[in-house]
């Protein structure tokens, strides 16, 4: 039975039913009875059915499920992801583009009758707390129970999501997903930003099919934000509670493999804990930010769970993330421990199960399989865990108004050049810093150390429109916020010495850098003015307890600004703006070009 009288929802569902021709249509109300029944159905599928999910040990991992996707379908597919705007220029140089009508003509035959013999699930969901002025409604149509159960964790799913839509509003995002034949040759992840529409076909992997996440909350939402005066960013949100009980909120954007989830769930060093500092997680991946009534920038996490990479997560690296996964969690492409019906992944502990099922489904002897050079879990295997499981979830997580942001932090993995932390001179300079976010490949990953990958604002795969217009929107937001704008910082946890040793301990000790950032926001710390921005005075970084590790000589290296390296950096940014952006149809705002000149002039002084 339809769960809404909204005429636009009903008309669109009818149209998509006529196209995909499912045997039946089930509206997802979000009730426990319905979800339990779907769980029974999907876990009762015969062995070998590719949709099958497994129940895990109810004592050790209560409410947890396990699933494997096809080996050809384990990650986001950027080369098959499209932004379809009427004009090619509106998609810009960082996106694949096709004319919307052409794309629909191409995909319509793939969708025609694709759900024959299947059930279509109609999933209403809210990105953001229901009723929040920052929240948005989505509806996803899918032929996958796995998608329904994951969306239940990642979003506020069910009939309540329709509450504020009314009968006539057209302000909802239409997502159509079919796993079809999971055919990689016909896999498409397509955004139509001008129509609030997403079409995803031939994948069953999270990032491609949980349409609320990257497709809506970043690609479509960034486009909406530009038109409506807000921002959708690939940022974690955390709160640092100070000993006086006040909490300061910070967002941070990093390219992948830079420790975003670890920073979001940071455990402060002992000294800070003793002093009464606490870190709370509001989000680990996405922030929607809008000016509030007081003129400050407020952020919500539009998601309701964490879709985290499992390998590397352990009691030491991120005990909070591990705790998130101990109940009501879905594990995908990790290994099964058949000895006790639990799961295992690389670096969880030093005891891979002897009786294991590896991520592709073969029964193996875990230690032997690893000794032969294999991994038991896929490197991009995931947990889908409810945010409410997080021991350090912020008490403001469901606050419909969001949290006021004091600082925005950018970062990347840089062996040299970029100091541990520095602050921009102003919002425009900070926007430049965001546009310059890049990460170096490591020797382990590519064989070539120091190859720079540009990833502006860590948003390269997620900006749903022209990157030049996106930077212009950042500048406009800065103007609107004026002196209430968050301060902008850049951090680099990955600076190395000549031998390739990391100079900074990272993890919980990153709290020391957050501490300086907060003091700067509050006007309680001075700074050294350099050509690239404000750096900490050495005595202002609290190194109590790590003096042996971070000696004065190491601190000098961490905070060094090497003029020659920075001249090279600026030359590379000129090349990037020119060759990768402007020459390919992106308008680099004049203000950002001017920042290059300003930094260069300061370096030459
Ligand atoms: C993610 C990603 O899955 O950024 O969050 O790829
Ligand atoms: Mn992400």
Ordered DSSP codes for 454-473: E-GGG-TTT--S-HHHHHHH
For residue 174, the cross-strand partners are: 139, 197
Of the listed ranges 197-211, 214-228, 373-387, 430-444, the one predicted with least confidence: 430-444
Query: For residue range 169-215, what is the model confidence (pLDDT) as tens digits?
Result: 999 999 999 999 999 999 999 999 999 999 999 999 998 999 999 99
Sign of CA pseudo-dihedral 571, 573, 574, 579: positive
Tell which residue, 222, 223, 121, has the closest CA to residue 176. 121
Percent of the chain with pLDDT over 70: 98
Smallest CA-to-CA distance from 412 within 434, 431, 429 is with: 434
Nearest residue (CA) to ligand 1, atom 5: 285
CA-to-CA distance for 362 and 353, rounded, in angstroms?
13
399 CB less than 6 Å from ligand 1?
Answer: no
Q: At what angle do helices 563-575 and 590-604 cross, to 10 degrees?
A: 160
State the distance from the centre of ligand 2 to the C-alpha of 213, rounded, in angstroms.
9
The atom of ligand 1 lying closest to the CA of 382 is: 3
Is 487 close to ligand 1, i.e. is its CB under 6 Å away?
A: no
471: which 2 tokens?
């930077």
Distance between CA atoms of residues 251 and 21, nearest Å: 44
Closest CA to 278 of 241, 319, 237, 239: 241
pLDDT confidence band for 294 (50 / 70 / 90): very high
From ligand 1's centre to the CA of 309, what distance in Å? 8
Q: Which atom of ligand 1 is nearest to the CA of 207?
A: 3
285 lines ligand 1 (CB under 6 A): yes
- Picking from 188, 181, 179, the residue whose alpha carbon sits closest to that of residue 79 is 188
Residue to substitute in 76, 219, 303, 383 for testing ligand 1 pocket (most ligand atoms within 8 angstroms of CB): 76
| Residues 417, 419, 421, 424, CA torsion sign | negative
Mean pLDDT of 537-553: 97
Q: What is the pLDDT of residue 601?
A: 98
Question: Residue with the nearest Cα to atom 2 of ligand 1?
Answer: 256
Q: How far is the CA of 240 from the centre of ligand 1 (A)?
A: 24
- Residue 364 bridge partners (DSSP): 356
Confidence class of residue 258 from pLDDT cuts 50, 70 and 90? confident
Q: What is the pTM of this model?
A: 0.97
Q: Is 256 in the pocket of ligand 1 (CB under 6 A)?
A: yes
* Ligand 1 neighbour 434 (Cβ under 6 A): no
118 contacts 22 by C-beta, under 8 angstroms = yes
* C-beta 207 within 6 A of ligand 1: yes
Nearest ligand for residue 207 CA: 1
What is the rounded distance in angstroms from the CA atom of residue 540 to the CA atom of residue 538? 5
Q: Which residues of 244-267 are buried (b: 16+ CB within 10 A; e: fewer)?
A: eeebbbbbbbbbeebbbbbbbbbb
Write down the pLDDT at residue 441. 67
d(CA 223, CA 194): 8
State the DSSP string of 147-177.
HHHHHHHHSEESGGGGTTTTTT---EEEEEE
How far apart are alpha carbons 274 and 214 in whole angstroms? 39
Alpha carbon of 46 to ligand 1 centroid (Å): 31
Between CA 325 and CA 306 the distance in angstroms is 9
pLDDT-derived band at 452 (thresholds 50, 70, 90) equals: confident
Per-residue model confidence (pLDDT) at position 264: 97
Catalytic-residue membership of 521: no
Give, for ligand 1, the residue of 214, 215, 260 to mutate: max count of ligand atoms closer than 8 Å to Cβ: 214
Angle CA 196–202–204, to nearest 5:
90
Q: What is the number of other CB atoms lying within 10 angstroms of the CB of residue 47?
A: 7
At 449 the pLDDT is: 62
Q: Does 392 have pLDDT greater than 80?
A: yes
Q: Is the pLDDT score of 9 beyond 80?
A: yes
pLDDT mean over 392-402? 98
pLDDT at position 549 over 90? yes
Examine the pLDDT at 312 and tell me if it is beyond 50.
Answer: yes
Cα–Cα dist 437/449, whole Å: 17
Per-residue pLDDT band at 311 (split at 50, 70, 90): very high
Asked whether residue 32 carries a pLDDT value surpassing 90, the answer given is: yes
* Of residues 295, 513, 248, 521, the one with CA closest to residue 403: 248
CA dist 258 → 11, 47, 370, 491 (Å):
44, 38, 25, 11
- What is the distance in A from the centroid of ligand 1 to the CA of 311? 14
Confidence of residue 446 (pLDDT cuts 50, 70, 90): very low
Mutating to test ligand 1, I would choose from 207, 217, 309, 453 the residue with most ligand atoms within 8 A of its C-beta, which is 207
Sorted by sequence, the CB contacts under 8 Å of residue 296 that are 6+ apart come out as 404, 405, 481, 484
564, 599, 600 from 593: Cα distances, Å: 20, 10, 11
pLDDT of residue 104 exceeding 50, the answer is yes
Whole-angstrom distance, CA of residue 564 vs CA of residue 228: 42
Return the half-sphere exposure (C-beta side, CA atoms, 13 A cut-off) of residue 55: 14
Residue 257 has a pLDDT of: 77
What is the atom index within ligand 1 of the atom nearest the CA of 256? 4
Q: 283 in helix, strand or coil?
A: strand
Residue 66 in tokens: 């396990």
Among residues 534, 523, 505, 524, the alpha carbon closest in space to that of 421 is found at 534
Kindly write down the DSSP assignment for every residue of 340-380, as one continuous string.
TTEEE-TTS-S---SEEE-TTS-EEEHHHHHHTT--SS-TT
Percent of the chain past pLDDT 90, that is, above it, reads 95
Encoded tokens for 154: 């990642």
Which ligand minimizes its atom distance to the CA of 236? 2
Choose the catalytic residue: 64, 215, 258, 390. Answer: 258
249 within 8 A of 303, measured Cβ to Cβ: no
CA of 244 to the centre of ligand 2 (A): 33
Contacts (Cβ under 8 Å, ≥6 apart) of 37: none
486 lines ligand 1 (CB under 6 A): no
Q: Which ligand is nearest to the CA of 256?
A: 1
Compute the average pLDDT of residues 289-304.
Answer: 98
Which of 203, 262, 285 gets mutated to test ligand 1 (max ligand atoms within 8 A of its CB)? 285
Give per-residue pLDDT as tens, 109-126.
Answer: 999 999 999 999 999 999
Looking at every residue in the chain, the average pLDDT score rounds to 96
Q: What distance in angstroms lies between residue 270's CA and the mean position of ligand 2's atoms?
A: 29
570/578 Cα distance (integer angstroms): 12
| pLDDT tens, position by position, 405-416 | 999 999 999 999
Residue nearest (by alpha carbon) to ligand 1 atom 3? 207
Q: How large is the average pLDDT for residues 212-224?
A: 98
Which ligand is the nearest neighbour of the Cα of 253?
Answer: 2
Q: 76: Cβ below 6 Å to ligand 1? A: yes
336 forms beta bridges with 343, 357
Q: Is the CB of 260 under 6 A from ligand 1?
A: no
51-66 mean pLDDT: 98
Q: How close is the Cα of 233 to the center of ligand 1, in Å?
A: 12
When pLDDT is cut at 50, 70 and 90, the band that residue 436 belongs to is very high
At 259 the pLDDT is 86
Q: Is the pLDDT of residue 102 over 80?
A: yes
pLDDT score of 95 more than 50: yes
| CA of 213, closest atom in ligand 1 | 5
In 3D space, the residue among 440, 436, 438, 441 whose CA is nearest the CA of residue 424 turns out to be 436
The first and second tokens of residue 339, run together, are 């000895």
Give me the mean pLDDT over the 267-279 stretch. 98
Name the phi and psi angles at 518, rounded to 5: -65, -45
Atom 4 (ligand 1) nearest CA: 256
Rounded to the nearest angstrom, the distance between the alpha carbon of 285 and the centre of ligand 1 is 7
């Amino acid at each position: 039975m339809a769960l809404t009288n909204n005429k636009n929802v009903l008309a669109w569902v009818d149209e998509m039913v006529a196209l995909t021709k499912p045997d039946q249509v089930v509206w997802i109300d979000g009730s426990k009875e319905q979800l339990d029944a779907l769980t029974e159905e999907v876990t009762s599928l015969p062995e070998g059915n590719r949709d099958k999910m497994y129940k895990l040990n109810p004592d050790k991992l209560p409410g947890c499920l396990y699933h494997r996707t096809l080996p050809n379908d384990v990650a986001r597919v950027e080369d098959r992801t499209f932004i379809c705007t009427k004009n090619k220029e509106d998609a810009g140089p960082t996106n694949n583009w096709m004319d919307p009508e052409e794309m629909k003509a191409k995909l319509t035959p793939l969708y025609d009758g694709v759900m024959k013999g299947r059930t279509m699930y109609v999933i209403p969901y809210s990105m953001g707390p229901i009723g929040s002025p920052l929240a948005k409604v989505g509806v996803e149509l899918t032929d996958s129970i796995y998608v329904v159960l994951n969306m239940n964790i990642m979003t506020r799913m069910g009939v309540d999501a329709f509450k504020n839509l009314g009968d006539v509003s057209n302000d909802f995002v239409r997502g159509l997903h079919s796993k079809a034949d999971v055919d990689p040759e016909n896999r498409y992840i397509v955004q139509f930003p001008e129509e609030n529409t997403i079409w995803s076909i031939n994948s069953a992997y999270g990032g491609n099919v949980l349409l609320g996440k990257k497709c809506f909350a970043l690609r479509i939402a960034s486009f909406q934000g530009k038109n409506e005066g807000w921002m959708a960013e690939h940022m974690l949100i955390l709160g640092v509670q100070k000993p006086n009980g006040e909490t300061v909120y910070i967002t941070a954007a990093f390219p992948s493999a830079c420790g975003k989830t670890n920073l979001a769930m940071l455990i402060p060093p002992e000294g800070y804990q003793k002093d009464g500092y606490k870190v709370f997680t509001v989000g680990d991946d996405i922030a929607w930010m809008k000016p509030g009534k007081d003129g400050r920038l407020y952020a919500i996490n539009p998601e309701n769970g964490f879709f985290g990479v499992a390998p590397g997560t352990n009691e030491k690296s991120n005990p909070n993330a591990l705790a998130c996964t101990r109940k009501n969690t879905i594990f995908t492409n990790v290994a099964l421990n058949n000895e006790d019906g639990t799961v295992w992944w690389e670096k969880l502990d030093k005891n891979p199960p002897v009786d294991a099922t590896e991520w592709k489904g073969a029964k193996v002897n875990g230690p032997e399989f690893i000794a032969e050079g294999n991994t038991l879990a896929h490197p991009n295997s995931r947990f889908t865990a409810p945010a409410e499981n997080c021991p350090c979830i912020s008490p403001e997580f469901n606050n419909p108004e969001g949290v006021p942001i004091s600082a925005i932090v950018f970062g990347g993995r840089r062996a040299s050049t970029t100091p541990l932390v520095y602050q921009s001179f102003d919002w425009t300079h900070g926007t430049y810093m965001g546009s310059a976010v890049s990460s170096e490949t490591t020797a382990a990953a590519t064989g070539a150390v120091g190859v720079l990958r540009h990833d502006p604002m860590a948003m390269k795969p997620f900006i749903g429109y022209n990157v030049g217009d996106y930077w212009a929107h950042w500048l406009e937001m800065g103007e609107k916020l004026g002196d209430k704008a968050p301060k902008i910082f850049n951090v680099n946890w990955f600076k190395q010495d000549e031998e390739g040793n990391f100079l900074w301990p990272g993890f919980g000790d990153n709290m020391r850098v957050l501490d300086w950032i907060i003091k700067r926001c509050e006007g309680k710390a001075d700074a050294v003015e350099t050509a690239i921005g404000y750096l900490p005075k050495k005595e202002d970084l609290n190194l109590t307890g790590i003096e042996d590790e971070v000696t004065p000589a190491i601190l000098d290296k961490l905070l060094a600004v090497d003029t020659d390296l920075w001249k090279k950096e600026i030359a590379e940014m000129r090349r990037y703006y020119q060759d990768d952006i402007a020459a390919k149809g992106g308008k680099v705002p004049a203000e950002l070009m001017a920042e290059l000149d300003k930094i260069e002039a300061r370096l030459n002084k």
